[in-house]
Amino acid sequence: MAMLRSLWAYRGFILGSVRREFQSRYQNSLLGAAWTVLNPLAMIVVYTVIFSQVMRARLPGTDSSFAYSIYLCAGLLTWGLFAEITGRAQTVFLDNAGLLKKLNFPRMSLPLTVVTSALLNFAIVFSLFTAFLVLSGNFPGWAYLGLLPVLAVLVLFAIGLGVTLGILNVFFRDIGQFFGIFLQFWFWLTPIVYPANILPEPVQRYLGFNPMGRLIGACQEILVHGRWPDWWRLAPVLLLGMLLCMFGLRLFRRHAGELVDEL
CA triple 18-76-79, angle to 5 deg: 60
Res 103: pLDDT: 66
Which phi and psi (to 5°) does residue 90 adopt? -70, -15
First to last CA, the chain: 28
d(CA 232, CA 246): 22
CA triple 103-158-59, angle to 5 deg: 145
pLDDT in tens, 207-235: 889 999 999 999 999 999 899 999 999 99
Closest CA to 219 of 143, 161, 162, 155: 143
- The DSSP-derived string for the chain is -HHHHHHHHTHHHHHHHHHHHHHHHTTT-SSTTHHHHHHHHHHHHHHIIIIIIIS----TT---TTHHHHHHHHHHHHHHHHHHHHHHHTTHHHHTHHHHHH--S-TTHHHHHHHHHHHHHHHHHHHHHHHHHHHTT---GGGGGGHHHHHHHHHHHHHHHHHHHHHHHHH-THHHHHHHHHHHHHHHTSSSSS-GGGS-HHHHHHHTT-HHHHHHHHHHHHHHH-----HHHHHHHHHHHHHHHHHHHHHHHHHHHHHHHH-
pLDDT in tens, 160-206: 999 999 888 888 888 888 898 999 999 989 988 888 887 788 888 88
Q: Given a cut of 70, is residue 3 above it in pLDDT? A: no
Q: Given a cut of 60, is residue 32 above it in pLDDT? A: no
pTM of the model: 0.86
- The DSSP-derived string for 53-101 is IIS----TT---TTHHHHHHHHHHHHHHHHHHHHHHHTTHHHHTHHHHH
Which phi and psi (to 5°) does residue 161 adopt? -70, -40
Q: Given a cut of 90, is residue 262 above it in pLDDT? A: no
Closest CA to 244 of 105, 89, 137, 113: 89
Res 243: pLDDT: 95
Please answer whether residues 130 and 93 qualify as being in contact, where contact means their C-beta atoms are separated by less than 8 angstroms: no
